[in-house]
Amino acid sequence: MTADSTPTLLVVHHTPSPPTRELLEAVLAGANDPEIAGVTVRSVPALGATIPDVLAADGYLFGTTANFGYMSGALKHFFDTVYYPCLDAVAGRPYGLWVHGNNDTAGAVTAVQKIVTGLALTQAAGVVEITGGVDAAARERCYELGATVAVTIAPE
């Protein structure tokens, strides 16, 4: 964040289907909650997110599908790209994570957590794991996730 800009929350996501789009939109709605003033929310697909995007942000939300017991290849590619160039620069910044799968998201969560631990990010909200259909409760959990992480970087 520079002196004349608002803090930025970078949302890096893999969103391959309508249900995962619903989750992303709920996360973004929460992050943009009108009661949270002074935060810029940037949503970028994982395959398009860059090192400057990460360096310029003040907090992060990561969203992925569970694929073969791991995070999506797209989010893995993102972390492969930014990890070493951003190491040290991002330490202590807050993050949140949501994962959607058919029946087992545990491996994807563990995989992301290992990487964000290496980056020394600070977990700002509980991981949101959603399996199967996306209902109102799932959307609400994603909304809360977005709002919770946005609040942590909002100006006093």
Ligand X SMILES: Cc1cc2nc3c(=O)[nH]c(=O)nc-3n(C[C@H](O)[C@H](O)[C@H](O)COP(=O)(O)O)c2cc1C
Residues between 72 and 111 that touch ligand X (CB under 6 A): 100-105
Q: Does 63 contact ligand X by CB under 6 A?
A: no
HEC sequence for the chain: CCCCCCCEEEEEECCCCHHHHHHHHHHHHHHCCCCCCCCEEEEEEHHHCCHHHHHHCCEEEEEEEEECCEECHHHHHHHHHHHHHHCCCCCCCEEEEEEEECCCCHHHHHHHHHHHHHCCCEECCCCEEEECCCCHHHHHHHHHHHHHHHHHHCCC
* The binder of ligand X chosen from 43, 65, 148, 152 (CB under 6 A): 65
Q: How far is the CB of 32 from ligand X (least distance, A)?
A: 23
Q: Assess contact for 82 and 54: CB atoms under 8 A.
A: yes
Binding piece for ligand X, criterion CB under 6 A, among 13-21, 48-56, 83-91, 142-150:
13-21
C-alpha–C-alpha distance, residues 84 and 93, integer Å: 16
Q: Does 67 contact ligand X by CB under 6 A?
A: yes
Q: How far is the CB of 144 from ligand X (least distance, A)?
A: 20
Site string for ligand X, 125-154 (x = CB under 6 A): ------x-----------------------
* The binder of ligand X chosen from 2, 34, 68, 155 (CB under 6 A): 68
Q: How far is the CB of 120 from ligand X (least distance, A)?
A: 28
* Nearest to ligand X of 68, 84 (CB atom): 68
Binding-site ranges for ligand X (CB under 6 A): 17, 19-20, 65-69, 100-105, 131
